[in-house]
A and B are shown apart, each in its own frame.
Chain A
Amino acid sequence: MHSTPSPATASAPALDGQGIRVEAATRRYGAVTAVEDLSLAVSPGEVVAVVGPSGCGKSTLLSLVCGLERPDAGTVAADPAALMPQRDLLLPWASALDNAALPLRLRGAGRREARAAAAPVLAEFGLAGFERARPGELSGGMRQRVAFLRTLLAGKPVLCLDEPFGALDAIARAEMQRWLADALAREPRTVLLVTHDVEEAVLLGDRVAVMSPRPGRVVADLRVDVPRPRVATDPAVVELRARALAALGGEAAA
């Protein structure tokens, strides 16, 4: 744990809300039932990794938590949440700095003020010297970091991260995982992290929620009692990974 206050801490919201409570939520798109009878509770400051087969409604769950969708049945209650979408959706015409600072501008800050607030955070996350680069000029890992910073600077207690490192190669991915763990250690948030990588889920989550194929429900909820920093070769990590995979496989066979 770092004890030095970081510039990003200035924007950290208080974690004294309710966290996330999804109770028996169902969401249909026409004839397709994306999630059905899905329940999941996340306490303030907790990191829950969500794994599940593709198309099982993981992104739908995040949309519900962010208030972009309403459940057709059941209830969804959550503290204000910021979404980091599956595609980074950076604005191609804006610089890395302006993309990261976008939520500040949207909350009414002037251009200069927003840049001044975002620049130190950008530097802190290894993007010094790339402030003026446009997304098209950044590597995949850098783009993901900018997208993450944009989510962080939204200043909301809940972060919904949708496969944040899905597009990266193994090395960049490992680096980003370390970096995310660091960021959350410095600035705790309530996090719902969707991933298709079970190992990533165990490395980053306080809990791992395993979803069934569509219509998605939570079929296993594993607590990860492994101290941080975690390494993939730790027997406890390996064991949990096997349990999560078994839960996934059991559902796939059913």
Chain B
Amino acid sequence: MIALLLVALLLGAWQLYAVHGPVDDLILPAPSEIATALWEDRALLWDNFLVTAQEVALGIVAALVVGFACATALHFWRPLRRATYPLLVASQAVPIVIVAPLLIVWLGFGMAPKVAIIALICFFPIVVTTLDGLGRVDRDTLRLLRTLDASRWAAFRFAEAPAALPAALSGAKIAVAVAVIGAVFAEYSGSSEGLGHLILQAIPQLETARAWAAVVVLAAFAVALFYALDLAQRRLLPWTTNERTS
């Protein structure tokens, strides 16, 4: 309710500023123009959205799988963790714009380099939250498992991994918004389709409203993805929500 009111207020102010303010509408189109573009270009937006959505979804899934595996490895071998953690953090500081062309050289112009870039972006938050989840299993639970003759692997399989799963999804939730921006940058670096590509084309064509319409779709997608992950977390791993209420 309050959220809706806030959005309406923002849109109203934006509309007034775009129409009466000093900024040219080629730089900042009014919400009404963006809405018109959304409607008129809906087929174009939809086709490109499908491409970007696929890249982002695949990228997040890849990051979840690889991130979980890496977090597990780092969890099992502390020396490895100490050695590679700074490297992991440093990798996050490398701007995508720099890495993207390299990945395109390696992986070609298709979907693969985009998926790789998005996975790269989501990888770090997922590793961090998963490691945290793995490490947060009760010491007493692990002791109990020992009295039940659990091997190190069994302790992971029956206690640590299930505890870390919701943590991994939390990492993915954190990564969602950045993943969408990552997709745009990935498409900037070389592609013939996707919303990022659409934005890149629309701006020199002075189709600013269309570019903004693409941004609106991207933002809506990020929100939808966030809530989809939230729902997955609650559906697949319901004890995390039970825990909070009990």
Contacts and interface: CB of A to CB of B under 8 A. Distances in A.
Interface of A: 63, 66-68, 81-83, 85, 87, 89, 91-94, 102-103, 105-107, 134, 136-137, 150, 154
Interface of B: 138, 140-141, 143-150, 154, 158-159, 162-163, 237-239, 242-243, 246
A83 B147 contact: yes
A92 B239 contact: yes
A11 B148 CA distance: 14
Contacts of B158: 91, 102, 105-106
Majority SS at the chain B contact face: helix
Given A82-B147, A106-B145, A89 B140 contact: yes
B205 to A, nearest CB: 53
B144 A85 contact: yes
A68 B143 contact: yes
Majority SS at the chain A contact face: loop
B243 A107 contact: no
B239 A93 contact: yes
A83 B142 CA distance: 12
A156 B222 CA distance: 53
A92 B243 contact: yes
Contacts of B238: 134
Contacts of B246: 136
Contacts of A94: 162
Q: Which of B144, B149, B159 has the most CB of A within 10 A?
A: B144
Nearest to B238: A134
B239 A89 contact: no
B147 A66 contact: yes
Contacts of A82: 147-148
A140 to B, nearest CB: 11
Given A106-B154, A137-B242, A89 B141 contact: yes
Contacts of A103: 148-149
Contact of B243 (A67, A85, A106, A136): A136
Contacts of B140: 85, 87, 89
Ordered nearest first, which 6 A-B pairs have the shortest CB separation?
A: A136-B242, A92-B239, A93-B239, A83-B147, A136-B246, A103-B148
A83 B148 CA distance: 8
A107 B149 contact: yes
B148 A106 contact: yes
Nearest to B151: A106
A26 B238 CA distance: 44
Contacts of B243: 92, 136
A93 B157 CA distance: 13
A93 B148 contact: no
Contact of A102 (B138, B143, B148, B163): B148
Contacts of A63: 143
Contacts of B146: 68
A87 B144 CA distance: 11
Nearest to A156: B147
A89 B144 CA distance: 8
A154 B140 CA distance: 17
A32 B225 CA distance: 52
A198 B117 CA distance: 65
A93 B237 contact: yes
B138 A89 contact: yes
Given A92-B242, A106-B158, A134-B239, 11 more contacts: A63-B143, A67-B147, A83-B143, A89-B138, A91-B159, A91-B162, A93-B163, A94-B162, A107-B149, A136-B239, A136-B243
